[in-house]
Amino acid sequence: MKQIMTTTIAYSHLRFLIAALVVLATFIGCRTAPISGRKQVIMIPEQQEIEMGRQAYEEVLAEEKLSTNRHYIEMVNRVGKRIAAVSGKDDYDWEFRVISSPTMNAFALPGGKVAIYEGIMPICENEAGLAVVMSHEIAHALARHGGERMTQQSIVNGLGRVVEYASRNREQKKRDRIRALYGIGTQYGFTLPYSRKQESEADQIGLMLMARAGYDPTEAPRFWRRFSQQNGEKPPEFMSTHPSDEHRAADLQAMLPEAYKEYESAPEQYALGQPIFTSETLNAGALAKQSPAQSQSPASAATTNKIQPASGSEPPSYPDPFRKYPDPFKK
């Protein structure tokens, strides 16, 4: 009984410390996310994020094989440029690449560095479906979710050091119990909920971006329904970094009236755009290959931030420029 009371008190203290540190951070570095208007805590300079994103992008391109599918490359650049044009980030050095891999994934890094894996293209079905993917990833970069994750991790680690110091005179068993409670509490009560919030926010921002770029926003919930059929058994949502595909589709469906106003106001309306596969693109001659250097030069990608399968295990990922700080409890 005494152990239970001690553990409960310790957990209450942890909750208080987490809340206090978050409030303190809020006064240090508060900003507002675009479109959603959510208040954010980011203590990382944006230029630092952009430089880290550039370095990570170069790492990916050095390790991955670039696609030589000209149809994919042209479509990704076309859709990417249209989204970039309405992003409000003319200062970004936008670049769009297609990676030759069956992985159903995509990402965008700070500074406008975007990559699409070939494996996601068939699920997109058309330009509007591709716009769903690309606008979602670009939304992560615009909302500076990477810098926000770095800030949150520094909060967790800073609090971890406080907890470690405060429990230094306790018995080893009690210290281990406090560490375990802290790890579980921050993972399920702080880190994962914020990750899902960022994903939902990227869906919201991305939906408005694709509509402003002239793509029919009704394709967004349809894409997520298609995507949900590609995956096997999924973990409970509270254990995942992403909302469930069904949840995402439902949320996007609810946002369609607002998004459709943006679509109707777009200078040009492309509806669903071109299909991914046509009789011409399926013809081997139309997909004649050329060298990656020719097909995806930076100049061709210039303009005038991970769709990830919700499966039973974490999906494959690319080098993350926002690597977590070392665990403060590790010796």
- Closest by Cα among 5, 137, 124, 123 to 80: 137
Compute the distance between CA of residue 57 and CA of residue 109 in angstroms, rounded to an integer. Answer: 7
Q: Are 229 and 245 in contact (CB under 8 A)?
A: no
Q: Which of 49, 95, 137, 148 is catalytic?
A: 137
Per the structure block, which two tokens stand in for 63? Answer: 């390790």
SS3 (DSSP) at 266 = coil
To the query of whether residue 137 is one of the catalytic residues in this protein, the response is: yes
What does DSSP assign to residue 271?
B
Half-sphere exposure of 116 (CA within 13 A, CB side): 32
Compute the distance between CA of residue 84 and CA of residue 139 in angstroms, rounded to an integer. Answer: 10
DSSP states of 36-64:
T--EEE--S-HHHHHHHHHHHHHHHHHHS
Q: Are 31 and 42 in contact (CB under 8 A)?
A: yes
- Closest by Cα among 65, 124, 53, 137 to 98: 65
Per the structure block, which two tokens stand in for 189? Answer: 């009560």
- Closest by Cα among 307, 302, 267 to 86: 267
Compute the distance between CA of residue 102 and CA of residue 119 in angstroms, rounded to an integer. Answer: 4
Compute the distance between CA of residue 261 and CA of residue 75 in angstroms, rounded to an integer. Answer: 25
Compute the distance between CA of residue 77 and CA of residue 179 in angstroms, rounded to an integer. Answer: 48
| Strands, E assignment, 129-226 | none
H or E element at residue 73: helix 70-85
Q: Which residues are catalytic?
A: 137
